[in-house]
Amino acid sequence: MEKLHIGIDLGGTKIEAVVLDSNLNTLFRHRILTESQKGSEHVLCQIENIYLQAKNSIKDKKHTLGVGTPGSLSKSTGLLRNSTISCQNGLPIDSLIEKKLDHSLAIENDANCFALAESHMGAGKNYDLVFGIIMGTGCGGGFIHNGKLRTGPQRLTGEWGHSVINPNGPKCFCGKKGCVSTYISGTGLEMMINENLKINTSAEKFLNQTSYSQKEEDILNRFYEYFGLSLANIINTIDPDIVILGGGLSNHQHLYTKGLQMVYKNIFCEDPNTPILKNILGDSAGVIGAAIIGKKEFMKNG
Ligand SMILES: [Zn+2]
């Protein structure tokens, strides 16, 4: 009998579900609001609500279940940490969701889901070693080798967003200073703009401006400088076959020209050629990756 795969992607503002068939074709897709301000029990009910809709769409047929979440489960405590759905931090959300839905599940960080989906169905389809990057509210990443997700013995793989690139830099929520995320995530760039220009604007709006004052250009140059340094650090360490960008800032076209040059400038190699490409699946990558996570053969332990 054909096996079906339900994926649920938990996000700060919306929860999305998808049903894939065994060839990874989409049979059902729907999204609802997270409404995390109403608390963790309400979020669990929202997850149940969308799961039941997905399950009904396939008439309760046998399926696997995968969940993508911001943050990750601590290896030592099993509790969720660093999630932007803050009411879920400190909770054993995998077992809570399993109990609520009465179905076993696999759970992974949302950037890992993004990288897995892109490596199977998106920009990384024909590459062995894929590093997927999310530049959104924060900076996340996922490492895929031969189609399988590598999470690492400490579930740390891909957490490049909290590598320190300037120990005297801005304070990060993780407790350190000058993390990659404080410079090149949407939030980081917005803070840099706010501090230097005393204005509130969105990072995407700023990056899409057609002209810049001298002060704005200084910030823009610093953004590219740190983009180049942080991506070059990844490439120097693992030499991936491709780097795929996702998240809100990945829509900024200059990242693939001027940004690419800044990366190449910092790679320890005289003729760098690592492709740095935009994702293909867009908003769907997270939820498709969650469904794929449920297929155990795509997971690699450790
Ligand atoms: Zn940090």
**Phi, psi (degrees; rounded to nearest 5) at 117:** -65, -45
Paired sense of beta strands 63-69 and 4-10, if any: parallel
CATH number of 124-279: 3.30.420.40
* Helical pair 93-101 and 40-57, crossing angle rounded to 10 deg: 50
Give the C-alpha separation, 26 to 18, whole Å.
Answer: 7
Taking the model in full, what pTM does it have?
Answer: 0.94
Residue ranges with CB less than 5 Å from ion ligand 1: 162, 172, 174, 176, 179
State both tokens at 263.
Answer: 């990366």
pLDDT score of 154: 86
- Cα–Cα nearest to 223, from 194, 179, 188: 188
Give the C-alpha separation, 239 to 128, whole Å.
Answer: 11
Res. 289: pLDDT tops 60? yes
Residues 3-31, mean pLDDT to the nearest whole number: 95
For residue 21, the CA-to-ligand 1 centroid distance in Å is 38
Q: pLDDT digits over 60-94, tens only? A: 999 999 999 998 899 899 999 988 888 999 999 99
For residue 179, the CA-to-ligand 1 centroid distance in Å is 5
The secondary structure of residue 4, as a DSSP letter, is E
Residue 277 binned pLDDT confidence (cut-offs 50, 70, 90): very high
- Bridge partners (DSSP) of residue 63 are 4
State both tokens at 101.
Answer: 């839905």
For residue 220, the CA-to-ligand 1 centroid distance in Å is 21
- Cα–Cα nearest to 261, from 270, 272, 249: 272
- What stretch(es) of the chain map to CATH 3.30.420.40? 4-112, 124-279
Res. 301: pLDDT tops 70? no
Residues 146-154, mean pLDDT to the nearest whole number: 92
Question: Is there a contact between 203 and 194 (Cβ–Cβ < 8 Å)?
Answer: no
Residues 51-57, mean pLDDT to the nearest whole number: 98
For residue 83, the CA-to-ligand 1 centroid distance in Å is 13
For residue 227, the CA-to-ligand 1 centroid distance in Å is 15
Buried b (16+ CB within 10 A) or exposed e, 211-225: eeeeebeebbeebbb
The secondary structure of residue 38, as a DSSP letter, is G
Alpha helix positions (H), 122-213 = 181-184, 186-197, 203-207
For residue 234, the CA-to-ligand 1 centroid distance in Å is 16
Question: Is there a contact between 180 and 162 (Cβ–Cβ < 8 Å)?
Answer: yes
What does pLDDT average to over the chain? Answer: 94
Residue 173 binned pLDDT confidence (cut-offs 50, 70, 90): confident
- Cα–Cα nearest to 230, from 193, 187, 183: 183
CATH of 4-112, one of 3.40.50.720, 3.50.50.60, 3.30.420.40, 3.60.9.10: 3.30.420.40
For residue 198, the CA-to-ligand 1 centroid distance in Å is 23
For residue 25, the CA-to-ligand 1 centroid distance in Å is 37
pLDDT score of 75: 87
Residue 107 binned pLDDT confidence (cut-offs 50, 70, 90): very high
